[in-house]
Structure 1
Amino acid sequence: MLTEERYSLILDLLKEKELIKFEELSSKLEASDSTIRRDLSILEERGLLERFHGGAKAISSKRKELSYKEKLSKHTDEKNILAKYASELINDGDCIFIDAGTTTYEIIKYLANKNVFVVTNGLNHINALVENNIDCYMIGGNVKLTTKAIIGSHALNCLNKFKFDKSFIGTNGVDLESGFTTPDCEEASIKECAINNSKKAFILADSSKFGYVSFVKFAKLSDCSIITNKNSDLDKYKEITDVRMVNKK
């Protein structure tokens, strides 16, 4: 395989997965360790990827955000595991907020037999709630086309009228210093409002979200409990907040 062909394949793999480990590159490229290391070094020098111990990850802007459709196909197993655990924290009689997002969306199917009231800003969420015969309310406002989230000042004013037993929030980044972050200012305001108006707030974050910092901070680590499938390097997070580690059963 020619050098430029290897470069192209590496970048194509990163477009699909955002992060790829050294062992997988070795298998896909059928190249020596030294060749792969050299390829990654050159691509990093060109600003096309970031190397880390054990692999490489795609370069991403702090303001870049995938569309709802693009997010649906990523980390599907992890999202379902986290959502199922989150649903088990919801009791009959609870009034809850479910944030717009593909991970929080998965909670809804587990609520079909519970007597709960759900408020959401997720355009796709409301259909799933109705189909599962769940009492619900959708806040009004502007529709963000990429993420199917309701945002804006009207949405914020509407949301601020509610008081929740629990809220379930998605995030783009979880970082020890920067807390919880997301690319969009208006979505950040919605998340922050829901957290402030909840007795208990939970952040659903698969392992890929840790150590990443997006554009806008919407909460400190200590403001929320974290539900995650990440099972290592969490000691420092546990010193700051409640961390629920969920593994596939």
Structure 2
Amino acid sequence: MLPPERQSIILEHLAAQGSVRTIELASALEVTDETIRKDFEALEIRGKLQRIHGGAIKPDPSRVELTLTERQMVNRESKRAIARAAAERIQPNETIFIDASSTALTLIEFLPDFPITILTNAHNVVTALAGREGDIFCTGGLYEQRSRSYIGLSAAAALQKHNIHRMFFSGSAFDLDRGVSETNSRQASFKERVIAYSEEVCLLADSSKLGQRASFFFAQPMEISTLITNDDADGSFLQSAASLNIQVVQAPAL
């Protein structure tokens, strides 16, 4: 049975039952547990289900991975306010990393007009900076069409020799117990590696992402240096974040 046929059956079971178990599907379809897990991953990337321990459930619409274009339209004004506050942290001659998130991409609008070195794995960041003077490095690597970014081991390895003063990135959700998470496992794995190379780790997250969890955790709360969010974020959440030695910045509305 080809993967598309098998995945179609998985979705039929999910629609009828609301949840499915890995072991039961593997037995019914006469394949290994690992095959079913790979099917789950492929379906989750497409937003068709959400993986849980031992199986999968119907997706939470608020945590489904969107395309870059779709993400750019969500909470647009909050993202612009956050991006402006983030840009104010940059100092002359620093080396910064900008990831492929829609919030980090918005940072391009507010970059200061002095020399900095910019590292990125985002194709859209490179094209947006085409007319800017200064050093711009793109990681290269495996190109992911949905996020228009480069990922994988080769992309992360390209950053190893750089001293990254500030890493600007986002995720799908931020939970104070488990940390930052993504809907895309490969994006999560890439960002986890970049964090290890960065002095200041700046999470850009609007209030809708706070207190939430997505599928793949990649940054523990203690690894976050700074949380930059918008001015309507929950005060108790921000106080708890500050108690974990995370510098909290609330960006005023534009």
Residue 251 (structure 2) aligns with: 246
Residue 128 (structure 1) aligns with: 128
Residue 155 (structure 1) aligns with: 155
What is the 5 A alignment of 1:85-100? 85-100=85-100
Paired letter, 1:246: A
Residue 187 (structure 2) aligns with: 187
Deviation string, structure 1 residues 161-210 (Cα, Å, up to 9, x no partner): 32211110111101011110111222112211221111111000000001
Unaligned 5+ runs, structure 2: 1-57
CA distance in 1 between counterparts of 2:111 and 2:64 reads: 32
Unaligned 5+ runs, structure 1: 1-57
Q: Which moved more, 1:203-212 or 1:161-170?
A: 161-170
Residue 143 (structure 2) aligns with: 143
Q: Indicate how the Cα distance of structure 1 residues 75 and 189 shifts in structure 2: closer, same or farther if over 3 A, else same.
A: same
CA distance in 1 between counterparts of 2:131 and 2:189 reads: 28
Contact 2:179–2:221 at 8 Å: present in 1 too? yes
Q: Which moved more, 1:218-227 or 1:154-163?
A: 154-163
Residue 232 (structure 1) aligns with: 235
User: Number of paired residues?
Assistant: 192
CA distance in 2 between counterparts of 1:79 and 1:147 reads: 17
Contact 1:63–1:184 at 8 Å: present in 2 too? no
Calculate the TM-score normalised by the size of structure 2: 0.71
Contact 2:166–2:202 at 8 Å: present in 1 too? yes
Contact 1:97–1:168 at 8 Å: present in 2 too? yes
Contact 2:170–2:203 at 8 Å: present in 1 too? yes
Paired letter, 1:163: N
Paired letter, 2:229: T
What is the 5 A alignment of 1:1-249? 60=60, 64-111=64-111, 113-224=113-224, 225-229=226-230, 230-233=233-236, 234-240=238-244, 241-248=246-253
Deviation string, structure 1 residues 81-128 (Cα, Å, up to 9, x no partner): 000011110011001101111100111122251210000001111011
SS of the aligned residue for 2:190 comes to: helix
CA distance in 2 between counterparts of 1:178 and 1:123 reads: 30
Calculate the TM-score normalised by the size of structure 1: 0.72
CA RMSD of aligned residues (A): 1.9
